[in-house]
Amino acid sequence: MSRIGKNPVSIPAGVTVDVKDNVITVKGKLGELTQEYSDVTVKVEGNEVIVERSSDHKDHRAKHGLYRALVNNMCEGVSEGFTKSLELVGVGYRASNQGQRLDLALGFSHNIVLEIAKEVKVETVSDKGKNPIIKLSSHDKQLVGQVAAKIRGFRPPEPYKGKGVKFVGEVLRRKAGKSA
């Protein structure tokens, strides 16, 4: 049996979970999320959501843990939210935002202007003597991760000096340079 799938998801206070026609809807103070599901049964009992599978088929086992984890992320997201922070390491690397428009100077011949989805709140912090930081927050864990990965993809950190866009707290595997 799936070790993740068999654990029930506790519903936090102020969150409602509705299950209708293979669609799970989770509503909370930060927003509303929906997720379609298949090959499993989802039941709401008291203040817990229970995900069960019908057989031990490989697809059913895989989806058992998957949908349990998705429901857990939805419940956590609409009650508390998720935050990802990115750090720009490099001379002249800057970030600024006007509303949902993020302007990045990453050492290319032009600035990168990225329009960020309205569900994601973006904030830039530029302190003197420190690397600029981009903070992304939303109730949708998938969307925050996707936007953060897109920003990181513009200039991934290189292994020699560590220059580029990295997650705050990320440990980079460094290489030795040429030995003379």
Q: Which two tokens stand for residue 14?
A: 């102020």
pLDDT higher than threshold 70 for residue 1: no
| Residue showing tokens 């935050």 | 83
> What pTM did the predictor assign?
0.89
Give residue 2's pLDDT: 58
Give residue 4's pLDDT: 85
**pLDDT-derived band at 180, boundaries 50, 70, 90:** confident
Is the torsion defined by CA of 142, 120, 12, 21 positive or negative?
A: negative
Give residue 136's pLDDT: 96
Give residue 5's pLDDT: 85
Q: DSSP label at 78?
A: H
Give residue 79's pLDDT: 94
- Number of Cβ within a 10 Å radius of residue 163: 17
Angle CA 166–147–153, to nearest 5: 45
**pLDDT-derived band at 104, boundaries 50, 70, 90:** very high
**pLDDT-derived band at 159, boundaries 50, 70, 90:** very high
Give the tens place of pLDDT for each residue, 44-85.
Answer: 998 999 999 989 898 898 899 999 999 999 999 999 999 999
pLDDT above 70 as % of the chain = 99
How would you label 57-87 residue by residue, b for 16+ Cβ within 10 Å and e otherwise? eeebbebbbbbbbbbbbbbbbbbebbebebb
**Average pLDDT of the chain, as a whole number:** 93
